[in-house]
Structure 1
Amino acid sequence: MAAAPLLEIDDLRLAYATERGTVRAVDGVGLTLRRNEAVVILGESGCGKSSLAKALLRTLPRNAYAPEGRVRLDGAEVLGLPEERFRRQVRWVRIALVMQAAMNALNPVVRVGEQVAEPLRIHRGCSRRQAAARAAEAFAEVGIPGDFLQRYPHELSGGMRQRAVLAMALVTEPDIVVLDEPTSALDVLTQAAIMNVLKRIKRDRGVSFVLITHDVATSSEIADRVALMYAGQVVEEASAEAFFTAPAHPYSQMLMASVPRLHQPEPPQPIPGRPPSLLEPPAGCRFAERCPQRFDRCSEPPPALPLGERHRVRCWLHATGGGRP
């Protein structure tokens, strides 16, 4: 019998009010995450990946409408919780966030050790001494020397700052850590080191990860499952093995064909065109304008069609009796 999901996202929607109109950044996203599982959310810039993370943590800008849909944590609905209760029971207690651009996530005039210890004092009620001791343990866990606790953010390298932000997310021992482009500003060797830290923490502590990235190569290092987003929707959700070896959605196939590989006989193939505006998304399949396999039924919005256990694809080519004639 399969384990019950730790996190269930069902028909999640998030929109922003702008001068040009309403941007539907997250539009009907469904996703599941189990314990000790890493789900990678892939997609181009502007597809709604980071907005999904903000909706989960409810760290929304002022122009965002209240998220709609259902988010269940261990079977309990949390999206509709009052803000104060959500802050005390969920944010940084059950779900923590590693934000993009670590330097922007750290206060430049507060020592790093104090910033890592702060969530323990706020959410766990620890004394200053207890919090400092646990912060030192978290630093050691992510590979930062103990004397770095007394340093300011500008005194750390990019890789060390990213490790410090990771320690800040882990220090309260949450069930889930959401990582928003955690390696995007780092060199290749530092990226590899950070991914090794994440794999070790997942193995040793059983933490579940939601990794948001556009980097296919980096995501393959840790992924158990992959959810590919396009224009605010998840167009394919599959196991990492199925996605990376036999992707089903045309966008997934073209994305994998665009990734450079060693000993690849053909050069990487670019994906022509550009994503649609989320101010006025297409009525039918949102990838249709760029899809070489489109046909008449693509003018209708495709549902998320099941292909196997926990494998879904939003494409009419996989509908029973609904494929290309």
Structure 2
Amino acid sequence: MTQSADTLLQVSDLTLHYRTRRGTARAVDGVSFDLRRNEALVVLGESGSGKSSLAKALMRLLPRNIERFSGQVMLGDMDIMQLGDEAFRKQVQWNRMALVMQAAMNALNPVVRVGEQVAEPLRVHRGWSKDRAMERVAETFRKVGVSTDFLQRYPFELSGGMRQRVVLAMALVTEPDVVILDEPTSALDVLTQASIMNVLKRIKREEGTSFILITHDVATSSELADRVALMYAGQIVEISDARDFFHYPAHPYSQMLMDSVPRLHQAEAPGYIPGEPPDLIDPPTGCRFADRCPSRFSKCSQDPPAFSPDERRRVRCWLHEDEVARGS
């Protein structure tokens, strides 16, 4: 994968396998993509496709049962996979890359005031004084739409939407280059979801922050996405500009996924995807979507590479082999 001048993050063949009693679970299996400056990349996929494991791999928040963790992750001109744990913690984690986890209440300490929790990355990673850190926290609270009156409150005193904004402030307070958002609106009502997405769009526009938004919600993701990467069974099967993906999906899984999304004034019933995702401990040989694919043919028994029908799209499907060959 060639790195362009505006590439901020370049991930190549990233692999994260877990050791379980039943065998090795291939949660992230050779994933490659890039993130540009001031870009929002949405990672879509069903539950169990490896999206959250991808976030953990990028942030190196790994459980103990790791079987394999490998690949190359270039942040600017630095391969952060080559850093030791201590160097990674000091140079990357919460400084240049930050994570907004699922379930905001679980990410906050219930017995510590939220202002102090948001200030912690500045005090631990930057060595700032308490007063200086709290000034930055107050500034960041205002950016995400939280009154500074909330600085002295405990998490249980806030609504779900406010807690989510506090966790977002915790990720933004160090002004990182990349913010990874793992299902940031999944537990919120529709109006609060829209409010959070508006905050993210404003921060991206005003601060130039790059986002990786991990979600299964197609409708919400379309609000922020510049590009979309679709994960299936631990692999990225399509990565496209958002407009191309939402209007002209290329992979059969992408097409069926978009067909399953209800639309206003839609005459026909939404479609559905038959079957279920494969077991990541014993994935099928060849294309992992083949058993559910209406376009399956003999070559699908072989593992497809990522074809590039045009410069804006990569698709892991044999149906695009002839299209690429004709283009060349």
TM-score (norm 2): 0.97
Residues 198, 321 of structure 1: alpha-carbon distance in 2 compared, 3 angstrom cutoff: closer
Correspondence for 1:99 among 101, 115, 133:
101
**1:35 corresponding residue in structure 2:** 37
> Which of the residues 227, 238, 241 maps onto 2:240?
238
Query: Which residue does 2:141 correspond to in 1?
Result: 139
1:1-325 superposed matches below 5 A = 3-320=5-322
Deviation at 1:265, TM superposition (A): 2.1
Q: How many residue pairs align between the two structures?
A: 323
Structure 2, unmatched stretches of 5+, are none
2:64 alignment partner AA: R
Structure 2 distance, partners of 1:199, 1:30, is 25
Cα deviation, residue 184, structure 1: 0.2
1:7 is paired with a residue whose SS is strand
Q: Is the 8 A contact 1:316 1:322 kept in 2?
A: no
1:321–1:228 distance in 2 versus 1, CA, 3 Å: closer
- Contact map agreement 2:181 2:214 (CA 8 A) in 1: yes
Does the 8 A contact of 2:309 with 2:323 survive in 1? no
Query: C-alpha separation between the residues in 1 aligned to 2:323 and 2:118?
Result: 55
1:179 match: secondary structure: strand
- Looking at structure 2, the residues matched to 321 and 140 of structure 1 have their Cα atoms a distance apart, in angstroms, of 50
Q: Within 2, Cα distance between the matches of 1:198 and 1:322?
A: 36
How far residue 66 of structure 1 moved from its aligned partner, in angstroms, is 4.7
Deviation, structure 1 residue 321: 7.3
Where 2:115 maps in the other structure, the secondary structure is helix
How far residue 65 of structure 1 moved from its aligned partner, in angstroms, is 3.2
CA contact under 8 A between 2:308 and 2:324: conserved in structure 1? Answer: no
Offset of residue 3 of structure 1: 3.2
| 8 A Cα contact 1:302 1:315, kept in partner | yes
* Residues 307, 324 of structure 2: 8 Å contact kept: no
Within 1, Cα distance between the matches of 2:152 and 2:68?
39
* Separation of aligned partners in 2, 1:78 and 1:144: 33
Q: CA-to-partner distance for each residue in 1:183-235, whole Å, 9 max, x for gaps?
A: 00000000000000000000000000000000000000000000000000000
CA–CA distance in 1 between the matches of 2:68 and 2:62? 9
Larger mean CA deviation between 49-58 and 59-68 belongs to 59-68
Equivalent position SS for 1:320: helix
Paired residue secondary structure (2:268): coil
The Cα offsets for residues 152-206 of structure 1, whole Å up to 9 and x where unpaired, read as 0011000000000000000000000000000000000000000000000000000
Q: Match of 2:236, SS?
A: strand
Q: Counterparts of 1:186 and 1:309 in 2: how far apart (Å)?
A: 36
What is the root-mean-square deviation in Å for CA atoms of aligned residues? 1.3
Residue ranges of structure 1 left out of the alignment (5+ in a row): none
CA shift in 2, pair 1:321/1:308, >3 Å: closer
Q: Give distance in 1, aligned partners of 2:59 and 2:323.
A: 40
What is the CA deviation profile of residues 285-307 of structure 1, one whole-angstrom value per residue up to 9, with x for unaligned ones? 00000000000000000001111
2:27 is aligned with what amino acid? A
